[in-house]
Amino acid sequence: MIDIKELPEGWESIGLMNISRVRTGKRDANHATPNGIYRFYTCAYEPLFCDTKSFHGECLILPGNGANVGEVFYYSGDFEAYQRTYVIDGISIFAKFLYYHFRWNWKGLTEKKQYGSATNYIRIGNFEDYHVRVPPLPTQHLIVAKIEALFSQLDHGIAQLKTAQAQLKVYRQAVLKWAFEGRLTNKDVKEGELPEGWKIAKLGQVITDIEAGKSMKCDERPPRENEVGIVKVSAVTWGIYDEEESKTCFSNSAYNPKYLIRKGDFLFSRANTIELVGACVIAHRTSKKLMLSDKILRFQFTAEVTKEFILHYLRSPKGRPEIEQKSSGNQMSMRNIGQGKIREIEIPLPPLPEQHRIVQEIESRLSVCDKIEETIIEGLQQAEALRQSILKRAFEGKLVGEVIL
């Protein structure tokens, strides 16, 4: 309940059930049809479609269980709803005002009051306890207009940041492409030709050994101090070695020093989705006692190559397609690349000193990209914080008449 003293002059605190009706849909999850003409709101973030309609007009739609509890959607028109999705209709105040009010504090309130263990959910009581700060109708319209004007400016800025983020991704791939064409270290390389002193080699020619671990039943959590674990595929998936993506052996008797991951190890995922099979990292830091799994391979190389050169090549626009083409499997959801196929991967191989220069050039450029991306991510986070600040000031009665952006 809101303290009346906190309300701006002329505002009221009104229970949601006094200004609207709250009910759930009646359809099960299989009600959707591929070519349906009406939106079908489930507890997912995006609506499906179907051929029936049970709701009409301006409504708010709120997921009742699962990961999207706390989200709120506005829709005006005919639609259908899933049996665990809540619909607020019959709204007697400005519906868009109520929508933004929910955008302001519904997620925070539902995080404090959810039920269930395996699947989280909310109840009708969450809505019965909900109160709305309601100003006179003209003020509701002014507040919504101000929110939407500010959000429009904010969305434009966010779009620019995301465009810059996408351009960075393209540039990263371009750097890797140039590197393995020899263009970062040779000024006069002709298209389709290798620079002088380079050769094409099979990966098997520069690998002395490929080691694999074993599969075993484990506790699905990272090992603590004095415990032993094995790495998951996700430990090498996202560009850096992540020790937290691991699981704990039920007994320390499972420990085999032969499979222990050590600082400097080159790790390669032999199984994953088509986009991620062959993901590789160098373990720059090791603090847990973790072993290879059957899906994570360790490569040992000859003195003819640097691990960093091979790492960047296998992540490049030239190396990635080779991995994907040589992987096998009937399902696109899980692919595998065998050791024989790995050894067949072709690599452009410059002399060792030039490999070092290429790695230095790549890492110098990518380091700049990393710093720029950090700034972009920080900007996106600040934009979201500003969005919440706008909503907070709106429902404190402090937004209309202000200039925030």
Domain regions of the chain by residue span: 4-134, 136-189+350-405, 199-349
- Looking at residue 81, the DSSP 8-state letter turns out to be E
- Whole-structure pTM over 0.85, yes or no? no
CATH number of 199-349: 3.90.220.20
Please report the pLDDT score of residue 17 as a whole number: 98
Please report the pLDDT score of residue 91 as a whole number: 98
Please report the pLDDT score of residue 190 as a whole number: 86
Please report the pLDDT score of residue 334 as a whole number: 86
Please report the pLDDT score of residue 107 as a whole number: 95
10 Å CB burial of residue 258 (0-12, 13-18, 19+) is: exposed
Kindly indicate whether the domain formed by 4-134 is annotated with CATH number 3.60.15.10. Answer: no
In the block, residue with structure tokens 């429902």: 395
What is the distance between the alpha carbons of residues 323 and 212, in angstroms, rounded to a whole number?
A: 18
Please report the pLDDT score of residue 27 as a whole number: 97
* Positions in the chain whose pLDDT score sits under 70: 1-5, 331-332, 401-405
Count of CA atoms in the C-beta half-sphere (13 A) of 313: 22
Please report the pLDDT score of residue 187 as a whole number: 83
Largest pairwise CA distance in the chain: 81
Please report the pLDDT score of residue 405 as a whole number: 40
Please report the pLDDT score of residue 270 as a whole number: 96
Question: What's CA 382's distance to the chain center, in Å?
Answer: 18
Please report the pLDDT score of residue 5 as a whole number: 57
What is the distance between the alpha carbons of residues 5 and 113, in angstroms, rounded to a whole number?
A: 25
Please report the pLDDT score of residue 400 as a whole number: 85
Q: Do domains 4-134 and 199-349 have the same CATH topology?
A: yes
CA distances to 22, 59, 93, 147, 200 from 12, in Å:
20, 22, 12, 20, 76
pLDDT in tens, 158-217: 999 999 999 999 999 999 999 999 999 988 888 888 999 999 999 999 999 999 999 999
Task: Output the DSSP codes for 103-144.
Answer: HHHHHHHHHHS-B-SSS-B--HHHHHT-EEEE--HHHHHHHH
